[in-house]
Structure 1
Amino acid sequence: MPGRILVVDDEEDIREALEMILALEGYDVRTADCGAAAIARAEVEHFDLVITDLKMPGMDGVETLMALKQRHPCLQVIVATGYASSETARRCMSEGAHDYLKKPFDMDELLRIVERAIADGRVPPDGPSAQRC
């Protein structure tokens, strides 16, 4: 079973391209145009994975990541950006991102990372935090 993915990006072209590519691979894809919309959508729908842009007006990708992980600790989140730096990559990973991708990304690489993130999310976590998931 492929999984449900939420794509969050303020650029409509990117949202639509990712939605089409992922849907062709069998994923059930929804989109949001900002972090606040993503958080609201994740409150009423289940997602296996969120792919969020880093630079967005209002709530950026790091804030979106943090809010999603606070509410849904087991949710897998990939942060994608055209403004990659080692500092932002470290921050995203320390806040619980599954991965960090530089735009423009290679579609084969993206699909491998998406598949791995969803599979990792389906493995029950160990330890005390497992009860929260």
Structure 2
Amino acid sequence: MPLATFLVEDSLTIRKNLIPAMEDMANAQVVGVAGSKREAVAWLKEHADEWQLAVVDVFLSEGSGLGVLRAGRGRRPDQLVVVLTNYATDEMRRRCLDVGADAVFDKSTELEAFLAYCLDAARHEVPLAPVRSPDDQSEARDLAQP
């Protein structure tokens, strides 16, 4: 069964290339797409039980993927949230993991690893990480940073 995937990406070009790649190479079925934090948070709230994987970019047309990650903290333990970004510095990776990402991948250098991760998730071979609570101290630290 394909992995029900929600994609948070504001670039239409990336969407047009990434969705078929995920469907062909990672057994994913994209069930929803958003290009802004507001759209993503609303979709996650309205479709809480309809996805297994959320793929989130950090920089969006409005808002930040970090806010989407925070909104996904109340997800079920079997739902994974992955960051796919062009800005995968060590600091950004740490911040993403601190606010709830299960994994972080660089779009330009780690796409193959990302697709392998998605395929493993579709096969239920990815270990589930504990979901962080909304009152996690890292959120306060993240909000204090620019």
Question: What is the TM-score normalised by the length of structure 2?
Answer: 0.72
- Native 8 Å contact 2:37 2:68 kept in 1: yes
Question: Partner of 2:43 in structure 1?
Answer: 41
1:66 corresponds to which of 67, 70, 75: 70
- Native 8 Å contact 2:28 2:118 kept in 1: no
Question: Partner of 1:88 in structure 2?
Answer: 92
Aligned to 1:14, what secondary structure does the other structure show? helix
Cα distance 1:43–1:55, how it changes in 2: closer, same or farther (>3 A)? same
Q: Tell me which protein shows more helix as a share of its residues.
A: 1
RMSD over aligned Cα atoms: 2.5
| Paired amino acid for 2:51 | F
Question: What is the TM-score normalised by the length of structure 1?
Answer: 0.79
Q: Within the alignment, does 1:55 sit opposite 2:59 as a pair? A: yes
Cα distance 1:39–1:20, how it changes in 2: closer, same or farther (>3 A)? same
- Native 8 Å contact 1:98 1:117 kept in 2: no
Question: Partner of 2:137 in structure 1?
Answer: none
Percent of pairs with identical residues? 25
Instruction: Determine the C-alpha separation between the residues in 1 that align with 2:126 and 2:46.
Output: 19
Cα distance 1:56–1:111, how it changes in 2: closer, same or farther (>3 A)? same
Instruction: Determine the C-alpha separation between the residues in 2 that align with 1:106 and 1:95.
Output: 21
Q: Please report how far the alpha carbon of residue 58 of structure 1 lies from its aligned counterpart in structure 2 after TM superposition.
A: 2.6
Instruction: Determine the C-alpha separation between the residues in 1 that align with 2:89 and 2:18.
Output: 23
Q: Which residues of 2 match residues 1-133 of structure 1 at below 5 A?
A: 1-25=1-25, 26-29=27-30, 30-45=32-47, 46-69=50-73, 71-74=74-77, 75-118=79-122, 119=124
Q: Please report how far the alpha carbon of residue 50 of structure 1 lies from its aligned counterpart in structure 2 after TM superposition.
A: 0.6
Instruction: Determine the C-alpha separation between the residues in 2 that align with 1:117 and 1:60.
Output: 25
Aligned to 1:65, what secondary structure does the other structure show? helix
- Native 8 Å contact 2:3 2:121 kept in 1: no
Instruction: Determine the C-alpha separation between the residues in 2 that align with 1:23 and 1:72.
Output: 23
Instruction: Determine the C-alpha separation between the residues in 2 that align with 1:63 and 1:47.
Output: 18
- Structure of higher RCO (CA pairs closer than 8 Å, 6+ residues apart): 2
